[in-house]
Every structure is written in C-alpha cells, then in structure tokens.
Chains A and B, each alone.
Chain A
Amino acid sequence: MNNTIDISHYAAIADSIRAEAARILEQGVVTAVVAYTTGRRAGSVQPVIITAAAEAERLTFTAASVNNLAVYLTKAKKDIPRSGRIGIVVKGCDLKALVGLMGESQLQRDQLYLIGIPCAGVLASTVRPAEALIAATLAPKCRECDAHLPEGCDYVPAVSLPSAPTLEPSYAAEIARLEALTPAERWAYWKEQFAKCIKCYACRQVCPFCFCEQCLCDRNKPQMVDTTPRPAGNTAWHIVRAMHLAGRCAGCAECERVCPMDIPLNLLNRKMAKELKELFDYEAGFAVHEKGPLNSFMEKDDQSFIK
C-alpha cells in the first residue's frame, strides 16, 4: 500500500547527527547537545543530553523520536545546569516551539545551535516503538504538517526529503465535525472527554510553554480552578489550559501524546490556532515575533461581538 511513509533517510540523518554533535562538542561550539538516544526496549528512543564528543555515538534518530526536546531548555527544567551555547535536535514542530520561546524571551538564538531534521513524520505513540510508519501509525500532527523542513537552523543533514503520500488532515476534520454539532452535543462530547482526566498534569509537564513557576491551576489562595480530578475542576483545567496556550502553542501535540487518558488535547489547541488565524492572522511559524496575538492588538480589531 502506498500508505507507507518513506523514512529511509532517517539512517543518514542519524549518522549526520552523530558526526555533527561530535564535531561541535569537540570544537567547543556548544557545551551540551540535547538529542535522542536508543532506549532499552527494541526500537525505543529517548531524550538524552550529552556533554562530551565521545558520547555522540549514542545518538540516533528514528520514527520513534517523538519528543519535543525544546521542553528541556525552558525555565521549568531549570534544575538542568546549563552554561554556554547548547546544541539541540529539532523537527519542524519542535523548532516552532523554540521560536515561540525566543519570542517570549525565554531563549536567545545565539545561545542555541540548531540541528534541524528534514522530517517525514514520527509515530503517534511510543507504545510500539519498532512499528512501521504507515498512515495508521503516523502522528496525527504529521498528517497536516507544514514544517517538514525546519528553516534557519545552524546545521541540517544533507539528505533529501522523500515524497510523502498526501493524507487527509484529521484534526481539521474532527474540528469541522464538532463545529457542526449543537452546543449541547458539543458540551456532552467534551464533558465525557474531560471527565476522563486524572489531573496527572503530564500534559503540562511536557509542554514547552508551560514554564510558569507557579501554575494558576495549583494556587489555592484564591483557588480559581479546583484541583481535584473531578468533573468541574477538570473542565476548568482544560478550558484554562487551552486559553493559556492559545496564540503560543506550537502544535507539537506532545500534550496529547502523553495524556494517559487519551483526551484529545490538541483538538482544542488546533481549534484555537484556527480561530487566531482567522481573527488575527496569526500562526505559529519559524519567524520570531516579539508579541503574540493575545498580547498585542490593533485598533481595528473586530469587535462585532461587543455591544
């Protein structure tokens, strides 16, 4: 079937990453490289931070390289000691997150050495990391990816991106389906989804933009969001989360991937991204913007909904 995603170039990418990581560590361009290494289970891959050229041989890149490594550079992970310039392996979606963090003054471009991946897609889940990459196992975000080739990186492996089958975007279809329902039906849908949440906050932990020192949702004086994993608090958590990520979310879909309860978190993110595109012509991309759509304004902004 031509549903197979061609990732034959990933082996060459892995070789290039190893060589480049060794070179930049050797030459002192960077003090550390954030990348992927082989995990213990067959086919599995996990994030790693290496600081010596000799360790570079451990690095890899496969269809199981799902993690958005940008999260390791945020304030939320400040227990990772850091000095000097850091090398980091980024797929297109991960780069959008880094760009967003630069726009929010969390990172400086000259403190980073970006190794960009000509990415054909990654697995939706790491439950079976050795699985073949076909349309059914491909991460939904990759179906509608517009960032296969990251731009503005310091190094991109010299491989050509194989042509990929065109796949129907699944988020867009699901958003359209929900939009066509009545409010009551939508409420019923989300009520069921949110009810599943166990408030493990894995989604918050993995998100590169959830770097607040104290999350509003953890505060109890005043308590704006009930912290218990029960319907009211869950609904409030999900609405607040979607709102706080609106105009910032890079669409890496890590939140959705890590959710143990299979809540379609990225559906809310995509919906907000769609609305912000329509309302304020804003989209997460490769260009650093000093201000996002929700911390800037124009006098002529639409106010037809205001009396």
Chain B
Amino acid sequence: MHPEKNNSSAFEPKIIAFVCTWCTYAGADLAGTSRMQYPSNVRVLKFPCTGRIDPVFILKAFQQGADGVLVSGCHPGDCHYIAGNFHARRRFAAFRKLLEFVGVDLQRLQFSWVSAAEGGKWVDVVTDLTETVRALGPMTEFKELALEEQWSGALTTPELKEAYLQI
C-alpha cells in the first residue's frame, strides 16, 4: 500500500498458490524434502481438490495483495475424487476469459498440473511464475480499488495527499 515501495528495485512478488492436497501439495512437499530450491515468494494454500477452488478465491487473493496466482492440482485422470479437476479445468477456462475481458493481465494467473512425483515441475512452475510476475511488477489494479474504497476516491487533492502521508 505504500506507493514508494512500488518503485523500489527490491520488488518481491507475492504469489498465492491454490493447490490440491493429493497431488500438487504432495509434489511441493517432495520438492521440499528433496531440498530443491524454489522462490519463497509463493504462499501455498491447500485444498481438497482443484474442484473446490472457487474463482472468487482468486479474486480475493488479488484484492488482498497477491501479484500472481497459481492454481495447481492433479493431472487429468488422476483426481482423487475422479472428476474434480475436469470440472475445474472448464471453470477456469471460462474464468480466464472473463478476467481477460475485464482487463486482468493473464500472465499473472497460472494453472498447472503437478503430480505428487513432480517436485521438479513444481519448482519450475513456481519459479517461472515468480519471475514473470517480477518482470511485470506489482499488481496494482485490485489494490487501487481497495484503496479507493477507503479513501472515497483517488488521492487527487493536496489535503488528501497530506492526510495520507501522515499515517
């Protein structure tokens, strides 16, 4: 929320990863126990299944300050609940199109299939997304909305700017 931070060269992207517990979480765990290195920018949130990952969670993540979001689960055919990831695949295919239409840069939203055996792929996916988002810079769109929510609009007047700087 501090504008001066956005310009500093030390921008560290916040990546939120929504993963299913059976495949990708286990894959990330494998990466960890195998002592593979991957960016600590990623915050992992565990779900029973990609089918449980509601698009509204992705919105919420962006609103709360995520610069990038990863959604990852079992490969098609490997779902613990048989078809959860097939349903998720359709839902996210549609949701991507909607976000694109309202003007969200889709490079910030990555989907992947990472199995429990693919610790290496997890590292690749997370690293790629982190670096892409780092190059893109902070995701400001949703944060600005939240800021306006508190400030009744942009900081356009000198009075508002002064008041803002005093907190």
Contacts and interface: CB of A to CB of B under 8 A. Distances in A.
Contact of B94 (A186, A247, A307): A247
The prevalent SS among residues of A at the interface is helix
Q: Is the interface of B mostly helix, strand, loop or mixed?
A: helix
Contacts of B104: 183, 187
B86 A301 contact: yes
B66 to A, nearest CB: 14
Contact of B112 (A188, A280, A307): A307
B105 interface: yes
Nearest to A243: B55
Nearest to B104: A183
A12 interface: no
A280 B97 CA distance: 13
A62 B85 CA distance: 48
Interface string B33-60: 0000000000000000000001111011
B98 A243 contact: yes
Interface size classification for chain A: 35 or more
A228 B148 CA distance: 12
A52 interface: no
A84 B146 CA distance: 50
B162 interface: no
Nearest to A228: B149
Interface in B86-128: 86-87, 89-105, 110-113, 125, 128
Interface of B: 54-57, 59-60, 63, 76-77, 83, 86-87, 89-105, 110-113, 125, 128, 141-142, 145-146, 148-149
Given A191-B103, A297-B83, A307-B125, 8 more contacts: A189-B103, A225-B56, A233-B149, A235-B142, A272-B97, A276-B94, A280-B90, A307-B128
Closest 5 CB pairs of A and B: A187-B103, A186-B103, A297-B86, A307-B112, A232-B145
